[in-house]
């Protein structure tokens, strides 16, 4: 109940932001101004602009699953198109697709983490507790 009351206070002070746009931009889900990440993939503990405590952010394996599915589809599709168009040797596939896969995967994982954290904030999602039953 306390978090629901806190969220209604947040909505009175801050406009509701899109989870996708703030998450992909790596911005705070409440104010949309502060940075969400202190390093490439590590979320901050607290927003430097509005002071939102990010301890609620527990994204688990969700972003990795989405990143694997999306990047698998994109990279495999691009590699197949490249193979059909140019018939390059295998070593050229390795030289091209290994760094592209690494770079796009890190970018996609960061974006998915941001979206998941923003969605957690927006929906007030958290682990189930015995007190939630009934
Ligand atoms: Zn903020």
pLDDT tens for each residue of 73-110 = 999 999 999 999 999 999 999 999 999 999 999 999 99
pLDDT higher than 50, residue 1: no
Centroid of ligand 1 to alpha carbon of 56 (angstroms): 14
| Distance set, CA 38 to CA 26, 34, 48, 93, 102 (Å) | 10, 11, 11, 34, 20
Residue 58: predicted pLDDT = 82
In the chain, alpha helices (H): 2-13, 19-25, 62-86, 90-123
Residue 125: predicted pLDDT = 79
The first and second tokens of residue 12, run together, are 């009175």
Angle formed at CA 125 by CA 120 and CA 129, multiple of 5 degrees: 150
* Residue 66 burial by Cβ neighbours in a 10 Å radius (0-12, 13-18, 19+): middle
Centroid of ligand 1 to alpha carbon of 7 (angstroms): 13
Centroid of ligand 1 to alpha carbon of 122 (angstroms): 13
Domain boundaries, the chain: 2-127
pLDDT tens for each residue of 51-76 = 999 988 887 888 999 999 999 999 99
pLDDT higher than 50, residue 26: yes
Centroid of ligand 1 to alpha carbon of 83 (angstroms): 45
What is the pTM for the complete model shown? 0.80
């Amino acid at each position: 109940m306390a978090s629901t009351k806190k969220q209604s206070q947040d909505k009175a002070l801050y406009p509701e932001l899109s989870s996708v746009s703030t998450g992909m931009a790596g911005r705070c889900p409440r104010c949309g101004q502060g940075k969400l990440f202190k390093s490439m993939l590590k979320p901050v503990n607290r927003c430097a602009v509005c002071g939102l405590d990010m301890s609620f952010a527990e994204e688990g394996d969700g972003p990795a699953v989405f990143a694997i599915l999306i990047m698998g589809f994109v990279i495999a599709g691009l590699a197949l198109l490249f193979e059909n168009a140019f018939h390059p040797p295998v070593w050229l596939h390795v030289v091209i697709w290994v760094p592209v896969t690494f770079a796009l995967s890190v970018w996609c994982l960061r974006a998915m983490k941001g979206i998941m954290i923003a969605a957690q904030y927006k929906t007030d999602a958290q682990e189930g507790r015995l007190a939630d039953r009934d």
